């Protein structure tokens, strides 16, 4: 919500925007997903509830625009395997498979074991991402820090294509906005698998319980100890959801030691619940309307395809594959 959707909602007023449900990407780690269509529809409901407006943005499903897969194939010839193995996502997935945390170094045997579980499709997913971007000749990509290496690969692929076949693609730039990175309730990265999330579907009570557990400035022992909001996860919530005036007050009072963490957490929880309240109401209004959602996605896919097919025709022309 904070890292992606809130940002997308703003961007759709400033740019011609394309947002897609990445169902091909989902299959790279969950190969036989019986729920993939249902999950895609549910994801679209989340987007609509967050404020993505299909009249302003093109909202579609990746697999319904076959040019993504076709361009992926063309791009797969422009990469070597060691480059893809160096992608942070590849290493992260190996660590995940071996149940290793953080930056733990892997032994040669562990790497061999993990590699044998990873598919050709998984290894190529940064290349598919490049195709997802360049098929629209997109020039600005809203990404989080963790996706910057993937965008760098996209830029490399654009350069290699342009050098090999002729100048066709722009080198897209990251559209990074300053959004606070909200940590999970246990101080680790927020992730469903760590059970440390505060989901938009939570009730006000559940939100309060979650925020209560969040890690604050650990150097602050007594209520009147001066604190450092930059060391506090709750302050990041304020930065995301409290008004500008409230953020200034929280920062000042925390530093001066005139604010209790309990009250501060309650205030952050209330701001979050207020935001979630509107979301939940809109999400509820889409329940039982799967047919309408499919219509929105089908219309979006049709619009996306009209752009993507033009690019693909140019790609084939440049690669001398037009007949
Ligand atoms: S007063 Fe607020 S911002 Fe400061 S450490 Fe406590 S919870 Fe964090």
Distances 86 to 82, 125, 149, 301 between C-alpha atoms, Å: 6, 13, 10, 33
Centre of ligand 1 to C-alpha 246, Å, is: 13
Distances 43 to 48, 60, 109, 254, 280 between C-alpha atoms, Å: 9, 11, 38, 38, 14
Ligand 1 pocket, 269 CB below 6 A? no
Query: Which residue is closest in CA terms to ligand 1's atom 7?
Result: 261
Query: Which pLDDT score, from 0 to 100, does residue 100 have?
Result: 66
Centre of ligand 1 to C-alpha 240, Å, is: 15
Centre of ligand 1 to C-alpha 229, Å, is: 6
Q: Which two tokens stand for residue 10?
A: 């703003």
Number of the ligand 1 atom closest to the C-alpha atom of 214: 7
Query: Which pLDDT score, from 0 to 100, does residue 103 have?
Result: 63
Centre of ligand 1 to C-alpha 264, Å, is: 6
Residue with tokens 């590699």: 115
If you compute the radius of gyration of the chain from its CA atoms, what whole number of angstroms results? 22
Ligand 1 pocket, 234 CB below 6 A? yes
Query: Which pLDDT score, from 0 to 100, does residue 18 have?
Result: 96
Centre of ligand 1 to C-alpha 200, Å, is: 23
Query: Which residue is closest in CA terms to ligand 1's atom 6?
Result: 261
Query: Which pLDDT score, from 0 to 100, does residue 138 have?
Result: 95
Contact (Cβ atoms closer than 8 angstroms) between residue 48 and residue 297: no
Number of the ligand 1 atom closest to the C-alpha atom of 238: 3
Q: In a structure prediction context, what are the per-residue pLDDT tens digits for the chain, which is 323 residues long?
A: 887 888 899 999 999 999 999 999 988 877 777 889 999 999 999 999 999 999 999 999 999 999 999 999 999 999 888 888 888 777 777 777 777 665 667 777 877 777 777 888 888 889 999 999 999 999 999 887 777 888 999 999 999 999 999 999 999 999 876 666 788 999 888 887 788 999 888 999 999 999 999 999 999 989 899 999 999 999 999 999 999 999 999 999 999 999 999 999 999 999 999 988 889 899 999 999 999 999 999 999 999 999 999 999 999 999 999 99
Instruction: Give 65-107 as a DSSP string.
Output: STHHHHHHHHHHTT--HHHHHTSHHHHHHHHHHTT--TT----
Query: pTM of the predicted model, to two decimals?
Result: 0.83
């Amino acid at each position: 919500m904070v890292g992606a959707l809130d940002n997308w909602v703003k961007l759709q007023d400033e740019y011609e925007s394309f947002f897609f449900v990445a169902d091909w990407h989902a299959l790279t780690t969950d190969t036989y997903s019986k729920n993939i269509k249902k999950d895609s529809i549910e994801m679209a409901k989340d987007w609509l509830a967050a404020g993505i407006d299909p009249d302003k943005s093109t909202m579609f499903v990746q697999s319904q625009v076959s040019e993504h897969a076709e361009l992926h194939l063309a791009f797969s010839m422009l990469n070597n395997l060691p480059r893809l193995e160096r992608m942070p996502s590849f290493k992260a997935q190996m660590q995940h498979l071996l149940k290793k945390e953080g930056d733990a170094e892997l032994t040669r045997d562990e790497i061999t074991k993990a590699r044998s579980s990873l598919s050709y499709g998984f290894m190529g997913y940064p290349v598919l991402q490049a195709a997802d971007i360049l098929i629209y000749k997109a020039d600005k990509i809203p990404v989080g820090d963790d996706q910057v290496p993937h965008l760098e690969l996209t830029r490399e692929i654009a350069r290699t294509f342009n050098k090999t076949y002729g100048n066709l693609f722009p080198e897209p730039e990251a559209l990074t906005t300053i959004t606070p990175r909200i940590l999970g309730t246990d101080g680790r990265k927020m992730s469903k698998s760590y059970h440390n999330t505060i989901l938009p579907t939570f009730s006000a009570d559940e939100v309060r319980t979650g925020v209560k557990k969040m890690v604050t400035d650990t150097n602050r022992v007594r209520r009147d100890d001066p604190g450092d909001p930059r060391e506090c996860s709750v302050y990041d919530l304020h930065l995301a959801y409290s008004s500008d005036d409230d953020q200034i007050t929280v920062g000042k009072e925390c530093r001066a030691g005139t604010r209790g963490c309990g009250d501060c957490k309650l205030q952050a929880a209330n701001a979050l619940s207020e935001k979630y309240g509107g979301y939940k109401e809109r999400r509820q209004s889409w329940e039982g309307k799967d047919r309408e959602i499919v219509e929105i996605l089908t219309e979006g896919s049709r619009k996306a395809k009209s752009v993507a097919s033009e690019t693909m025709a140019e790609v084939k022309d440049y690669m001398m594959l037009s007949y």
